[in-house]
């Protein structure tokens, strides 16, 4: 059932688990996520980046997500890293049930001002807003940040009080993409604890993919060239949840599973060119990946 961001996260906050937020770009990705969430009886957030909306079209993604939300589990359709006001307005109007406004690239005061405005806009449809403070590293289609600027606890308190966001994405050492750390993987858990002491709303971890070695290995075995990759280890995800993270974003792991699945199939079945077989293999691997993460997040059985 379609659920708002604030409702899905309120329960996670109370129950000390995290809701998985997975990026969708097409039907197979959405099907894989929903099949996994239904199997694990888990609430789930389907999120669309501005790049995904550009690629697939808002109407297509809405239809796919709304269809997925007919299942008997809580499903939120969320805008990920919204920066363009017209896209944000369109999503609110079209029936997205969660909005992230990403003003992390702006000066502090401007971020507060813009975020507050989006909170007011979204409130007209009773939709909660996720804000972002600090910068998560890495580069995706539209979002690029060369360095990580860690979130300051005192700033986080002021930001939440002044904007009215229902959730806050914080920077504690993660990056988007498959290359999150040089050397050892380390989240700043002490900083997370300090932020948690000051604010009482759900906290969000972006750039949280695990970048499983077996997926990278499979992709590389069949022709990919992914070197030096490193994700957030499962143990640190658990630690982050124990210390107050209630929403965990994952995109890269889905991309890796998609890639590894397709490459394997094409190499092993060179005479088969049926898209259903090719994408079917990718979908199965993505579902397994999501199931693993939902269990890790402690959201299994919470639907
Ligand atoms: O955080 C960003 C997501 O991974 C989406 O990436 O903008 O390339 O769709 P994208
Ligand atoms: P990953 O690149 O670690 O999957 O992070 C995705 C994300 O934060 C989307 O907002
Ligand atoms: Zn992100």
Per-residue pLDDT reduced to its tens digit, 38-48? 999 999 999 99
**94 in a domain, yes or no?**
yes
Taking 70 as the threshold, does the pLDDT of residue 148 lie above it? Answer: yes
Q: What is the pLDDT of residues 173-217, one digit of tens each?
A: 999 999 999 889 999 999 999 999 999 999 999 999 999 999 999
> Could you tell me if the CB of 233 is within 6 A of ligand 2?
no
Whole-number percent of the chain with pLDDT over 90: 95
**204 in a domain, yes or no?**
yes
Q: Can you give the CATH number for the domain in which 257 is found?
A: 3.20.20.70
User: In Å, how far from its chain's centre is CA 57?
Assistant: 19
Q: State the Cα–Cα distance between residues 22 and 233, nearest whole angstrom.
A: 18
Structural contact between residues 59 and 288, judged by C-beta atoms closer than 8 angstroms: no
Q: Which residues contact 303 (CB under 8 A, 6 or more apart)?
A: 37, 41, 42, 43, 72, 73, 74
Q: What residue owns the CA closest to ligand 1's atom 6?
A: 140
Distances (CA, A) of 174 to 6, 77, 192, 200, 213: 24, 24, 12, 22, 18
H runs (alpha helix) in the chain: 5-15, 27-39, 50-56, 58-68, 85-94, 108-123, 153-163, 189-198, 213-221, 234-242, 252-268, 275-296
**142 in a domain, yes or no?**
yes
pLDDT of residue 137: 81
Domain count across the chain: 1
| Residues flanking ligand 1, CB < 6 Å | 23, 49, 51-52, 80-81, 140-143, 176, 251
Q: What is the mean pLDDT of the chain?
A: 96
Q: Which residues contact 293 (CB under 8 A, 6 or more apart)?
A: 20, 210, 248, 250, 253
**92 in a domain, yes or no?**
yes
Q: What is the pLDDT of residues 77-86, one digit of tens each?
A: 999 999 999 9
pLDDT of residue 253: 98
**302 in a domain, yes or no?**
no
**303 in a domain, yes or no?**
no
pLDDT of residue 147: 78
pLDDT of residue 138: 74
DSSP state of 184: S
> Could you tell me if the CB of 104 is within 6 A of ligand 2?
no
Residue 102: active-site member: no
pLDDT of residue 145: 63
Average pLDDT over residues 116-134: 98
Average pLDDT over residues 242-247: 98
Q: Which domain holds residue 45?
A: 5-297
pLDDT of residue 130: 98
Taking 60 as the threshold, does the pLDDT of residue 140 lie above it? Answer: no
């Amino acid at each position: 059932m379609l659920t708002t961001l604030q409702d899905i996260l309120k329960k996670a906050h109370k129950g000390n688990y995290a809701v998985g937020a997975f990026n969708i770009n097409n039907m197979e990705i959405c099907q894989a996520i929903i099949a996994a969430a239904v199997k694990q009886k888990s609430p789930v957030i389907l999120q669309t980046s501005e790049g995904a909306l550009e690629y697939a079209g808002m109407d297509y993604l809405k239809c796919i997500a709304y269809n997925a939300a007919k299942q008997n589990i809580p499903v939120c359709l969320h805008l990920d890293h919204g920066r363009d006001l017209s896209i944000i307005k369109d999503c609110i109007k079209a029936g997205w049930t969660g909005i992230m406004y990403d003003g992390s690239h702006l000066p502090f005061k401007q971020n507060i001002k813009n975020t507050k405005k989006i909170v007011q806009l979204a409130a007209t449809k009773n939709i909660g807003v996720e804000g972002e403070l600090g910068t998560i590293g890495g580069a995706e289609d539209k979002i690029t940040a060369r360095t990580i600027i860690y979130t300051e606890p005192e700033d986080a308190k002021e930001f939440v009080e002044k904007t009215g966001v229902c959730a806050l994405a914080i920077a504690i050492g993660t990056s988007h993409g498959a290359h999150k750390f040089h050397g050892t993987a380390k989240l700043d858990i002490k900083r997370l604890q300090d932020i948690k002491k000051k604010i009482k709303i759900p906290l969000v971890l972006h750039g949280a993919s695990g970048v499983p070695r077996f997926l990278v290995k499979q992709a590389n075995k069949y022709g990919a060239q992914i070197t030096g990759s490193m994700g957030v280890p499962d143990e640190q995800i658990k630690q982050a949840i124990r210390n107050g993270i209630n929403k965990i974003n994952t995109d890269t792991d889905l991309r890796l599973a998609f890639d590894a699945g397709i490459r394997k199939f094409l190499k092993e079945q060179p005479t088969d060119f049926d898209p259903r077989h090719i994408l079917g293999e990718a979908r199965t691997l993505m579902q397994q990946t999501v199931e693993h993460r939902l269990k890790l997040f402690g959201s299994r059985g919470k639907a």
